[in-house]
Amino acid sequence: TVRVWDISGLRKKNVAPGPGGMEDRLRNPAQTDLFGTSDAIVKHVLEGHDRGVNWAVFHPSLPLIVSGADDRQVKLWRMNESKAWEVDTCRGHYNNVSCCIF
C-alpha cells in the first residue's frame, strides 16, 4: 500500500524560550508545540501491491506516481485532486523491486 500525504497543514513554529526561560518550557511540555494544530492527512491510499512497497516516486511534471515492491512489480498510478488510480503494472522482474524512477 502506498499513501500520499498532504503535508500543507504542517508549519514550523518558533520554540525559542519565552519570558520564563527554558526551564518554564521544560516544566510545561504540553505548551511546547513544534508544529501547528493541523496535522498531515492522507490524501490517497493506493492499494494494489501484494507485498511491501520499497519505493514510490512522483513524476516531476505530470500527476503520476510509480512504485516498486517485493511482489516484483512496478505499478504506475495517476492522481487528481479527488482520487488516485492504478494505470498499469509492469511484471517480469526476477527479484524484488528496490527502487524506480521516471
pLDDT in tens, 10-66: 765 555 555 666 566 566 655 555 555 557 889 999 999 999 999 999 999 999 999
Looking at residue 20, the DSSP 8-state letter turns out to be: T
Q: How far is CA 46 from CA 13, 43, 49, 92, in A?
A: 32, 10, 9, 21
pLDDT for position 46: 95
Looking at residue 48, the DSSP 8-state letter turns out to be: -
Distance of CA 89 to the CA centre of its chain: 21
pLDDT in tens, 72-81: 999 999 999 9
Averaged pLDDT for residues 85-89: 97
